[in-house]
Chain A
Amino acid sequence: MPPAAPRGPLPIGRPAAGGCPSHPEDPPPPTPVRRGRLRRTVKIGGIAVPIWVPLAGLGLVTAAETGRIDGPHRELFFNIADFWVLYALLPLLVAVVVYGVARRARVWRIGRPDFHFDQPRVRLRRMLRGGAGTERVLRDPYAGVMHLCIMSSILVLFLVTALLAIDDYLPDDKVRILVGDRYLGYSLVGDLFGLIGLIGVGMAVAHRWVRPRTTWLPSTEDKLILGGLGLLLVTGFLLEGFRIQTSEIAEHRDWSYWSPVGFVVALAVGGVETAALLAAHKALWWFHMVLALSWIGLLGFTKLNHLALAPANAFLKSPGSSGKLPLIANIEEQEHFGVSQLEHFTQKQLFELDVCVRCGRCTDHCPADIAGQPLSPMHIIQDLKTYATDVGERKAGNLARGAPIDDGLDDAPVMVGEVIRDESLWACRTCGACVQECPVFIEHIPTIVDMRRSLVMEEARMPDTVQSTLETLERQGHPWRGTPHTRESWMDGLDVPRWTGEQEYLYFVGCTGALVDRVQPITRSVVRLLREAGVSFGVLAGQESCNGDPARRLGNEYLFQILAEGLIATLDGGGVKKIVTHCPHCFNTFKNEYPDLGGHYEVLHHSTLLERLVEEGRLRPKPGAAAQTVTFHDSCYLGRHNNLYEAPRNILKQIPNLTLVEMPRNRERGLCCGAGGGNMWMEEQGRARVNEVRVAEALDTGADSACTVCPFCVQMFEAGVGSVQMGTDESQRLGVFDVVELLDVALPEGEPAAEPPSGAAP
């Protein structure tokens, strides 16, 4: 379990013992460390490469200059004989690392070989920016700086060492690199990065054991990696100091200034006898070298391997939207549905488990974890990794000797149910925060949904409310069991054009837009505004059916495909080319998932179209409404999964007398309302409800109302306001609106805001 240390921007995320997290009378939260800096830190990532590449190259650049042969220099392998032993150890080191990696690779290979390399340029760019540039690591300034210190130190010191070896090989009478000004520069760079490395190690130690800032999973490998590196740097400085004291400081004190740390060490040991120092130097040198090689050996057995695996995983990560789930093709011919055994994962999914460095960022940003619910994406990955180490290696062994894969594994724990508990899988909102934050590019959502698929399609084991939702989807083609409405109820008294095949856009209302009381007025507002602006559109009305999104997120891929195929037949039969969706979830499914099933449409979310209409002057919001302050809540499936953050904000900015304020978690860092991943139809388990956490954040901005563009977020916010502000008079509570409703109010009926521009659709 993570230590109960203060972390995260809100006390509601980690309340004091006994505190009621959602109580409105709780003291205001302390200003979070990261508040207000979220946007900027994201951009630092891009400049990571320019920062360390030149620094690392400094040593080499100085070497490229011409220098005096007789200038400052030092004896290579000073005081050391038999250093060839080192070269003898090298093959051993390589063998150890290769053995370590090969052992893991054996486990990866029990998975399905399902690799994709489409859009290689996107992948390559991500590998460079995210892998080498550590773009995502830098999103957290503390951890970013810490990581940059350690990483640059290791890289530069590696180059420094390599340069020394190269210089050693060159014939001394012809070329010497490390001499003169070059040597002095080299020495300074080495000392500087040794120091930077120690700062990084210090920050890492503080981050882990002194004052943990994030969810932290203690482990031996961290002690080995950090302890080893720290010791390596310290002994390096000691060696340098001993050498300077015994061979340099007396005659060439001015050279020694260029090794500042070594110089300080030299002064400190000034009183020690030379012979003793030389003996200590020799012993320490061997210790340092063996330690260095052993530390590199950790590459094969610890998360240190992320320095190679993370860039590789950045390349392997799907280049498309994180909102897209992988298709189970030819589902009727599958032997199993989803993942209940390690070997059902793809090789990439198994590989990913080993890439995880347990940094805990996924969990820190997970809405379920923030609300104290039973899900931590990091623990899912780590628990699977442990399972893959134990059971996976035995399975790989069975395969290697041609035995059945499960031979002798009767005693192994059940992966889905015991190792990964059902409630953790169900608590996932598929909001994508973990996937977006992960600095090593793990895709948690497909892994979690794959296990859900197994629960639903293989085991038929799910919460009652999920079962009821799936049954309703099967029977009625929508998830809203017990709705008193038909798909045409919302149209009563409103002249809504029906789809004829002649119009430009199909306005896809969706189940929630049509069948939920609170959302029907929003749908009507969209229709009124589209008509007002003279947009050519129609609706399918009673012919509409669910596009399958809830079934898919809930793990019933089969039902999703049935619903999607049915709807694609309707859409294609009606000659639909452009779709405006009411709901971000429909938007995501049409845009990212339907192409896999042969449904190709131009898809817009209603906020994008309305933004365009406002921009073109076809809708001109009028002043008149009282001044109001609103905060905007990003829908995960519009924002994080599809990168649409500005359209709704731009609409709001065009409404007179309206001030837009942001919650600390906004845009890419927006917190899910709690409904995603089918949780709209589940009972939440845990300390708080996600929507209550989010409503508390909206209240903290001091806004009069919160608005969004998703029919699920609207419902979750309304429910959240009801419970967080239970004691507040209803007129004083936070208002909850769709952006469309605010725009609608700003455009009084019967006053066309503008002449339809010429060329506008009829």
Chain B
Amino acid sequence: MDAIVCVKQIPDPETPAAAFSVDEAAMRVVEAPGVSPVINPFDQQAVEAALRLREADGGAGTISVLSLGPDSARDAIKTGLAMGADEGYQLNDPAFEGGDAWTTALALAKAIEKIGLPDVLIFGRQAADLDQGTVGSIVAELLGLPSVTVLRSAELADGEIRVSRVVADGFESISTPTPAVLTISNEFGDPRYPQLRQIMQAARKQVTVWTPADLGLDPGEIGATGARVKMHALYQPRNETECEFIEADTAEEKAGLLAAKLREAKLV
């Protein structure tokens, strides 16, 4: 079973909120020094899902890890390689910067075509920084593949993939033909801790780097220029609480005043 897992590098989601501030003018999140970039935890589970599917299928096949991001994103790919993936691909070029889910999906789809369409394409259900959860589905659309999202389990059987999806009121069991796009939820289970030997082998592995030209993409289609989502403002919502005591002589009067206040606030 061949698989391609798409991963994203994000600021460590375990970082306390105090370490971040927002530059509203530049519409940018400013990180305190020391916030380390890590592989998106859902994507790490996507790698785990690929490894488990391959193990259940007899262990043969190639698992590739693909990421769009700057130089540091190599570490996210290496994390996947250390866990047991075989090959790493990185889309790295200044032209990719400032893109949105659409431009990212477009570049990934091109890269997937270049690598060769595998049996399954696996994504995390969403990236834990912006929580959009759309890239997987857009790639499926671009490649014309079926897509099943937010999975808690998946198994290959008779050329099909049987999956269990997490839905609001329970689980949904469905099957899909291959090749297909799967997005993995945290219910899938904890990703494995790599063995030191694998970490060292991964450190030595070469990651193939592609630019837009390698993928036959026009710089205008990608990055900030190709983005379809435009940001208008970025700010931290304020949580404010006001406490007011109602003063009156009797309990009846207090209750009356309270009722009036609540009605005023359109709460009753």
Contacts and interface: CB of A to CB of B under 8 A. Distances in A.
Interface of A: 332, 337, 456-460, 462, 464, 467, 470-472, 475-477, 481-487, 489, 542, 558
A325 B44 CA distance: 33
Contact of B12 (A476, A483, A558): A476
B131 interface: no
B55 interface: no
Given A332-B200, A476-B12, A542-B32, A460 B193 contact: yes
A460 to B, nearest CB: 4
Interface residues of B, number: 21
Interface in B158-207: 190, 192-197, 199-200
B36 interface: yes
Interface in B1-28: 12, 14-19
Given A472-B14, A475-B38, A476-B14, A486 B32 contact: yes
B34 interface: yes
A475 B196 contact: no
Given A475-B38, A476-B15, 8 more contacts: A332-B200, A456-B196, A457-B196, A460-B192, A462-B193, A467-B190, A475-B12, A486-B34
Given A476-B12, A477-B34, A486 B18 contact: yes
Contacts of A456: 193, 196
Nearest to B203: A332
A456 B192 CA distance: 12
A471 B192 CA distance: 11
Given A484-B18, A485-B18, A486-B19, A476 B193 contact: no
A470 B194 CA distance: 11
B33 interface: yes
B193 A542 contact: no
Interface string B215-237: 00000000000000000000000
A542 B196 contact: no
A554 to B, nearest CB: 11
Question: Which of A456, A458, A460, A483: most chain B Cβ within 10 A?
Answer: A460
Q: Which 5 A-B pairs have the closest CB atoms?
A: A457-B196, A460-B193, A460-B195, A484-B16, A467-B193
A337 B196 contact: yes
Contacts of B190: 464, 467
A459 B18 contact: no
A457 B195 contact: yes
Contacts of B14: 472, 475-476, 481-482
Chain A interface mostly helix, strand, loop or mixed? helix
B109 to A, nearest CB: 30
Contacts of A476: 12, 14-15, 36
Contacts of B18: 484-486, 489
Nearest to B36: A475
Contacts of B34: 477, 486-487, 542
A550 to B, nearest CB: 15
10 contacts: A332-B200, A337-B197, A457-B195, A457-B197, A458-B195, A476-B15, A484-B17, A485-B18, A486-B16, A486-B18
A484 B15 CA distance: 8
Nearest to B41: A471
A332 B12 CA distance: 27
Contact of A458 (B12, B15, B196): B196
Nearest to B33: A542
A475 B12 CA distance: 8
Nearest to B34: A542
Contacts of A457: 195-197
Nearest to B198: A460
A475 B37 CA distance: 8
A479 to B, nearest CB: 12
Contacts, number: 53
B98 to A, nearest CB: 26
A466 to B, nearest CB: 9
Contacts of B16: 483-486
Nearest to B194: A460
Contacts of A472: 14
Contacts of A487: 34
Contacts of B193: 456, 460, 462, 467, 470-471
A477 B16 CA distance: 14
Contact of B195 (A459, A485, A486): A459
Contacts of B12: 475-476
A293 B4 CA distance: 74
A477 B15 CA distance: 11
A476 B196 CA distance: 19
B194 to A, nearest CB: 6
B196 A558 contact: yes
B40 to A, nearest CB: 12
Contacts of A471: 193
A486 B36 CA distance: 13
A475 B192 CA distance: 16
Nearest to B13: A475
Interface in B31-53: 32-34, 36, 38
Contacts of A332: 200
A28 to B, nearest CB: 46
A51 B266 CA distance: 94
A460 B190 CA distance: 13
Question: Which of B36, B192, B193: most chain A Cβ within 10 A?
Answer: B193
Nearest to B200: A332
Contacts of B17: 484
A169 B19 CA distance: 89
Nearest to A461: B193
A542 B195 CA distance: 30
A460 B193 CA distance: 6
A312 to B, nearest CB: 34
Nearest to A515: B16
A337 B196 CA distance: 8
Contacts of A470: 193
A344 to B, nearest CB: 14
A487 B36 CA distance: 14
Contacts of A475: 12, 14, 36, 38
Contacts of A558: 196, 199
Question: Which of A475, A489, A542: most chain B Cβ within 10 A?
Answer: A475
A339 to B, nearest CB: 14
Nearest to B16: A484
A458 B197 contact: yes
Contacts of B15: 476
Contacts of B36: 475-477
A515 B192 CA distance: 27
A476 B193 CA distance: 16
B88 to A, nearest CB: 19
A153 to B, nearest CB: 53
A35 to B, nearest CB: 45
Nearest to A544: B34
A462 B14 CA distance: 21
Contacts of B19: 486
A319 B190 CA distance: 43
A486 B20 CA distance: 11
A483 B17 CA distance: 10
A487 B33 CA distance: 11
A477 B196 CA distance: 18
Nearest to B35: A476
Nearest to B38: A475
A333 to B, nearest CB: 10
A481 B196 CA distance: 22
Nearest to A471: B193
A471 B18 CA distance: 21
Nearest to B19: A486
A260 B17 CA distance: 86
Nearest to B44: A471
B188 to A, nearest CB: 15
A81 B183 CA distance: 95
A564 to B, nearest CB: 16
A589 to B, nearest CB: 20
A445 B195 CA distance: 23
Contacts of B32: 486, 542
